[in-house]
Structure 1
Amino acid sequence: MKVVVIGDALVKSETLIEAVKEMAFAKDQALDIAVYEWHSELSKDEFQEHILAIERGGPEAVEIPEGILADLPEADYLFCHYAPISKAMLEAGKKLKLIGTCRGGIENVHVETVRELKLPFLHVIRNAEPVADFTVGLMYAETRNIARAHAAIKNGKWEKSFANDPYKTILPNLTVGIVGVGYIGKQVIERLNGLKVPVIVYDPFVDQQRVQSEGLLVEFVSDLAELFQQADIISLHMRVTEETKEMVNQHYLKLMKPGSYLINTARADLVCKDDLIKVLAEKKIAGAALDVSWTEPITADDPLLKLDNVTLTPHIAGDTIDAIPRSPFLLKKVVNDYLAKGYSDMEVR
């Protein structure tokens, strides 16, 4: 069994090798692992230049690891982080059964060739678990006033009364509505299931039976309006597209209960800022917690800063010391899931 791994400045080849050895195909088989490096000698700051080049121009705009084309014809699997997987590399890999990258973006892969060759391609949202943890943390912080109580004390005030006083209760007494049941959404659901919090979800693009077969305890609702009407906490986990940009606007915000909260650890542009500020200022909902901002960093005159029912953090939900370096082990989990089930939500088709 031949496996090719490519390390870089952020994810070491040694970590990729460790993860490969824990993949299901490696059991009871001798592994021949060919190791390549893509600017692994650079510092993180120096590596940013190459990240920018590949994100702007794709895998054909940068050089591939020297000598790799000689190893690929006999390779069964190819794994990397940010290194390019070019058209020439894919066409050279005549025996490839699967390729995988341990990052969410796919700019470094020649996806058109992947599709032409009908080659299974898996990737991971490498900071999914940190974002899911942080999302649940924001639910606690906003509903129980943790951050604003701390801020008050730091400013010399001993506050024990807050804007959401009529609605304060424990998390299991609240129903959380998840919009977007992708990889991060599922991670949030897993955590809420463990906390015995009722969960309803809306995602027209997922297979409901598949989600429920994975052991997630959720109730699907038929449309987005129903979720906004029923949920006490609404958490957004979608990508920004032409269809989803400012999707959460006054139409849906007006459907929310007076004691409900909006949580956003995805992208600011999913929400119409003016409409959200209006419902918060008028106390039409209990509060919001936002890890993303329409302008980063947020400006000193931003009206959000004047509100007493919003928790703001500076886009740090996915920021942990191990999210990127340990991402090969998240890829291992996705690969093993794919090998067991024959499908994966993280497969690019």
Structure 2
Amino acid sequence: MTKVVVVGDRLVSSETLKEAALKLNIPSPIEVVEFQWYSDLTKDQFQEKILLIEKGGPEAVNIPEGILEAIVDADYLLVHIAPVSKAMIEAATQLKLIGTCRGGIEHIATESVKSKGIPLIHVIRNAEPVADFTLGLMFTETRNIARSHQGVMAGEWRKSFPNDPYKTTLSNLKVGLVGLGYIGKLVVQRLNGLGVEVLVYDPFVDQEVIKAEGLKVDFRTIEELFSEADIISLHARVTPETTNMVNHSLISLMKPSAYLINTARAAILDKEALVEALQERRIAGAALDVIWSEPVKKDDPLLQLDNLTLTSHIAGDTIDAIPRSPYLLRDVLNAYFQTGKSDMLMRL
């Protein structure tokens, strides 16, 4: 008997995760034990729980009642956004793998997972939507699409903008990506298709493997990337090492004509450094889908900037991304079971 524990939530039901679990290529018979995490909350209430996790990790919220007992002899654990806490990892005696299917992994006690040597497969459920949205923000910011719309709706027929000295087509610009994970690779594919030169900083990827995958990129140090790129797009995950990684020092290396795009996590970008650079016109502009305090407060200095595009954390919000995620996780896990390799196996 192979035991799989699944934890559903308001967005992805345990029934859907169970259906995916039963199609895993693991020894049968398969026993699936289901839990639900805050599935009865309203959308706003559930969003509050998500924000607690993103700020405080898995220990900042409650875990489902009874899961510590159920996980003791579990072989696999599948979750969407429910917490995988230190207590859960410590209780598990024979866990062979953890699978999750959401944007980040803030909900997982990664240090505990690492200390036990448990493989963690992280399927980014909305990678395609985020990659599309990232490209959209590049066009929006460099060509003032949102600012022009805002002006027209307010009765203004704007023809001039802060980045007027630098306006050009995307094909004339070098795009630098910080992080070349699953989403970063999808962004590269789109930029390659448009004939845009791409620079990459990611010290953890095998450059030969990237070339073998057919991705056309040039690798740089992070300082070189910030100095050379015309658009810098952030795709790193939050760790102690990456928190506030993009700081005054790196931003000071950017060209006056350069733009910064963030569809990853707010915490990797130093807010004060970005605000100062935009206020002083030391860079041409920025576009953010992730903000340090969501929803943004009315007195936030971000709202006073005329060279910044803000969206309300919607990069991954499409009708099919979340419902499909357990089946995407199933397919990735089965490929991993077959080959022993996966781009989505986390390096902890």
SS in 1 for 2:131: helix
Contact residue 4 and residue 77 of structure 2 kept, 8 A: yes
> How far apart, CA to CA, are the structure 2 residues paired with 1:188 and 1:101?
22
Structural mapping, 1:7-156, within 5 Å:
8-9=8-9, 10-16=11-17, 19=20, 25=25, 32-39=29-36, 42-45=39-42, 48=46, 55-56=58-59, 62-64=65-67, 72=74, 79-81=78-80, 82=82, 86-87=88-89, 90-91=92-93, 98-103=97-102, 104-105=104-105, 107=107, 112=112, 116=116, 118-156=117-155
- Name the residue aligned to 2:219: 220
Cα 1:11–1:173 shift into 2, 3 Å:
same
Aligned length: 336
Gap runs ≥5 in structure 2: none
Alpha-carbon separation, structure 1, partners of 2:158 and 2:127: 34
* CA–CA distance in structure 1, aligned partners of residues 69 and 241 of structure 2: 42
- Per-residue deviation at 1:262? 0.6
Q: Percent identity?
A: 53
**Cα 1:57–1:18 shift into 2, 3 Å:** same
From the CA coordinates, give the structure whose radius of gyration is larger.
1
CA distance in 2, matches of 1:283, 1:113: 44
Deviation of 1:327 (Å): 1.3
**Which of 295, 309, 315 pairs up with 2:307?**
309
SS at match of 1:6: strand
Instruction: Say which SS state the counterpart of residue 342 (structure 2) adopts.
Output: coil
Quote the residue 1:235 is aligned against.
233
- Following TM superposition, by how much is the alpha carbon of 1:41 offset from its aligned partner in structure 2, in angstroms? 9.3
Paired position in structure 2 for 1:343: 341
Task: Indicate the residue corresponding to 1:184 in structure 2.
Answer: 183
Q: Quick check: 1:257 aligned with 2:255?
A: yes
Q: Secondary structure at the match of 1:39?
A: strand
Question: CA shift at 1:330, angstroms?
Answer: 2.8
Contact 1:8–1:83 (CA under 8 A) maintained in structure 2: no
Which runs of no fewer than 5 residues in structure 1 stay unpaired?
none
> 1:291, 1:315 within 8 Å by CA — same for their partners in 2?
yes
Aligned-residue RMSD, C-alpha: 3.6
How high is the TM-score relative to the length of structure 2? Answer: 0.79
In structure 2, give the amino acid aligned to 1:208: Q
* TM-score of the aligned structures, taking structure 1 as reference length: 0.79
User: 2:240 & 2:108 partners in 1: Cα distance?
Assistant: 23
